[in-house]
Amino acid sequence: MDPLYAFVQVVGRFWIWFFFKAVEVRHPELVPRTGPVLLCINHPNNLIDSLLVGAVVPRKVHYLAAARFFRNPLLASFLTAVGVIAIYRRQDDPIFAYGAAVNALPYLVPRWIAHRVTTEETDYATARFLSSIVLIPLFWGLETWLVWRLSNLRIAALFLVSLPVSGLLAYRYLGGLSRLRSQLRFSRLALIRNQAARQLLAQRQQIFDELERAKSDYLVATRGSSF
């Protein structure tokens, strides 16, 4: 284990201690200390999973990460230095680029209209939803018509089928990048302003507790109701 990885592991263990009350490790003896081993874990979170594995496994772990995380030169240098292996999936870019291109107008125009016609934040989602109901079929229909005019009916039908699928994949792709940026921003905040980060986490937990109390009160108040 090289010094940089050892340092990152110590930092990771600190954040695990910071975020979680307890971490239970079961059967650590099943992971050999030397020789090849493949760790296949549940992966509901991009960052916390890696911190957990790196914190509890005593040997150096070479993580697999999508190649899109290596686009930033500074982040790419760090990931390479700690042994992260880039996985190049052509469908991540050939699908995302296609989905973003053919769904750009259906996605951006309703958002632009909602910003223009609303003055209250509470009205934004409604305006965007209503404009999307009208504009998304309209744009998809126009794009399909253009493809039909430039090619043939079969290709136009396949293009129409691809629009919602590619749009959903592109949207989820952008969502994953957004969540990663948020996690990195919070990690940076926690490093430079530890007290502020702790306060945010405490306030976040208070909100969760309040929502849970509201849920319990609602269930009690509506018990036996036909609603």
pLDDT in tens, 94-119: 677 788 888 888 888 988 998 888 88
Q: What is the DSSP letter of 67?
A: G
DSSP one-letter code for 152 = -
Cβ-contact 69, 63 below 8 angstroms: no
pTM exceeds 0.85 for this model: no
Q: Is 72 left (phi over 0), alpha (psi -120 to 50) or beta?
A: beta
- Average pLDDT of the chain is 81
Domain boundaries, the chain: 3-87, 92-192
Residue in 112, 161, 115, 109 with CA at minimum distance from that of residue 134: 109
| pLDDT of amino acid 57 | 84
- The answer to whether the CB of 54 falls within 8 A of the CB of 12 is yes
Q: pLDDT tens string for the chain (227 positions)?
A: 678 888 888 887 887 777 777 778 888 888 888 888 888 877 666 667 777 888 888 888 888 877 777 777 777 788 888 888 877 665 556 677 788 888 888 888 988 998 888 888 778 888 888 888 899 999 999 999 999 999 899 999 999 988 888 888 777 777 766 666 777 777 777 777 778 888 888 898 899 999 999 988 888 887 766 55
